Homo-oligomer: A and B are copies of this chain.
Amino acid sequence: MIQVKEALAIVAENSSNMPVERIPVHKALGYILAETIYSPIAMPPFRQSAMDGYAIIHSGKHQYDIIGSSQAGDHSSLKLKENEAVRIFTGAFVPHNADTVVMQEHVMANENSILITIMPEQFANVRNKGEQIGKEDVVFDANTLITPAAIGFLACLGITEIPVYKKPKVAILVTGNELVKPGKILPKGKIYESNSVMLQAALQTIGIKKTKVYKVKDSLKATKKALNSILLKYDIVLISGGISVGDYDFVKEALLENEVKELFYKINQKPGKPMFFGSKNETLVFALPGNPASSLTNFYIYVYPAIKNKMGFSETHLQKLTRKLSEDITNTSGKTLFLKALYDETHVTVLDGQSSAMLNTFAIANSLLIVPNDTETLKKGDLVTLLPID
């Protein structure tokens, strides 16, 4: 049995980056850029008006003849004389020798001429070519997270494809003779299988949309066979159930017979103690506890950072927040506790119903409060660390 800290270190060490692939920019939300990107064009690509108004050569004169117009999308080789102006709109091309745009709110105009009422400074309201980014300049460094704004910026530079770290392919293998599919009648002694849909949803929250679920009966042969093909096809395998200490828990045996290298088994924590972590080639295997709340806890603590690591994130763990504790907590277990809790801007409150079988508490919690294994008492008002899961 190892401590949480050691387990986290082992997971991190074994979660190497996924291979790089080029994907369309419009599908890249939430991916991490694998290489530095350079701009194929200057932005703006030409001198642009920042306002609706009139382009002029700044000279201090107040009166100008209107000799043409420049709408967004236009391009002309118009040349102005000193007393001439061009009607211009936001984003439009500024004629070559014009240097200033007067806002339309600062002129009096008729069809043919304008009179400037508030004189702008020279160069006002003109966006220079390349003001935002020059051709061949760095758009984003490698390891940048692709956000909506990043997608917009890449697209405005005409970039259509980018190299990113692939998302890992994840399989969920569910074991347990006691499990019945929701929607069917529940025979005596059986329970509904819920971990697969729960884990699929948890994976969705970090951008892993398609997860294949495999179900096997509690037998060494069936589990061994299923694992054999799954291990070849997936980057991450989550196994739900069959990993605690009972006689009928043969999942570990099936893993070892499939040459999955054991990296650790059992962690000094509550809930979530009976977990196996191993690897075969680049594929990571998490055999999670069958109890739903334990399973989801260990997903957030161990699987989440492994996936973030594989996807190239530099911050791989759930964010850590510090809050004041609303009540005393005692921990005589000698284990690290992950308690379902509710936090707000200042405080955190531990919820009732911490049993590892209970998911209803998890459903209303917005965080996991960490009580370290060597902390026996925490007092109301103490600053504690929590992991937000909302």
Cross-chain contact B152 with A73 (CB below 8 angstroms): no
A230 vs B190: C-alpha distance when bound (angstroms): 51
Cross-chain contact B148 with A205 (CB below 8 angstroms): yes
A46 vs B188: C-alpha distance when bound (angstroms): 8
Cross-chain contact A92 with B151 (CB below 8 angstroms): no
Cross-chain contact A182 with B248 (CB below 8 angstroms): no
A26 to chain B, nearest CB (A): 4
Cross-chain contact B205 with A296 (CB below 8 angstroms): no
Cβ-defined partner of A44 (8 Å) among B52, B191, B202: B191
* Closest chain B residue to A199, Cβ basis: B148
Residue in A44, A74, A147, A184 whose Cβ sees the most chain B Cβ within 10 Å: A147
Cβ-defined partner of A148 (8 Å) among B90, B182, B201, B244: B201
Cross-chain contact A149 with B52 (CB below 8 angstroms): no
Tell me whether chain A's interface is mostly helix, strand or loop, or mixed. loop
A105 to chain B, nearest CB (A): 8
* Closest chain B residue to A296, Cβ basis: B149
A2 to chain B, nearest CB (A): 19
Q: How large is the interface on A (under 10, 10 to 19, 20 to 34, 35 or more residues)?
A: 35 or more
Cβ-defined partner of A155 (8 Å) among B193, B244, B365: B193
A290 vs B92: C-alpha distance when bound (angstroms): 12
Chain B neighbourhood of A214, CB < 8 A = none
Chain B neighbourhood of A246, CB < 8 A = 52, 89-90, 104
Cross-chain contact A191 with B45 (CB below 8 angstroms): yes
Chain B neighbourhood of A110, CB < 8 A = none
Cβ-defined partner of A152 (8 Å) among B89, B184, B292, B365: B292
Chain B neighbourhood of A153, CB < 8 A = 194, 292, 359-360, 362-363
* Binding stretch for chain B, among A13-21, A112-120, A157-165, A252-260: A157-165
* Closest chain B residue to A93, Cβ basis: B189
Say yes or no: is A232 at the interface (Cβ < 8 Å to chain B): no
Cβ-defined partner of A244 (8 Å) among B52, B127, B178, B322: B52
Cβ-defined partner of A178 (8 Å) among B41, B92, B198: B92
Residue in A89, A104, A194, A202 whose Cβ sees the most chain B Cβ within 10 Å: A194
A90 vs B44: C-alpha distance when bound (angstroms): 65
Q: Mark A180-204, 1 if CB is under 8 A from B, else 0.
A: 1011101111111111011111101
Say yes or no: is A29 at the interface (Cβ < 8 Å to chain B): yes
Say yes or no: is A111 at the interface (Cβ < 8 Å to chain B): no
Say yes or no: is A357 at the interface (Cβ < 8 Å to chain B): yes
Say yes or no: is A245 at the interface (Cβ < 8 Å to chain B): yes
Chain B neighbourhood of A75, CB < 8 A = 187-190
* Closest chain B residue to A157, Cβ basis: B192
Say yes or no: is A326 at the interface (Cβ < 8 Å to chain B): no
Cross-chain contact B290 with A198 (CB below 8 angstroms): no
Q: A44-B357, A74-B189 are in contact. Are A198 and B149 (CB under 8 A)?
A: yes
Say yes or no: is A132 at the interface (Cβ < 8 Å to chain B): yes
A191 vs B75: C-alpha distance when bound (angstroms): 12
Cross-chain contact A41 with B187 (CB below 8 angstroms): no
Say yes or no: is A10 at the interface (Cβ < 8 Å to chain B): no
Q: Mark A334-365, 1 if CB is under 8 A from B, else 0.
A: 00000000000100000001010111101101
Known contacts A148-B199, A158-B182, then 9 further A-B pairs from the complex at CB < 8 Å, ordered by chain A residue: A25-B182, A74-B189, A89-B248, A90-B244, A132-B357, A149-B296, A155-B198, A158-B183, A322-B345
Subset of 20 A-B contacts with CB under 8 Å: A25-B182, A45-B191, A73-B218, A90-B290, A91-B178, A91-B290, A92-B189, A127-B355, A132-B357, A148-B199, A148-B202, A148-B205, A148-B296, A153-B362, A154-B194, A155-B192, A155-B193, A155-B198, A156-B194, A322-B345
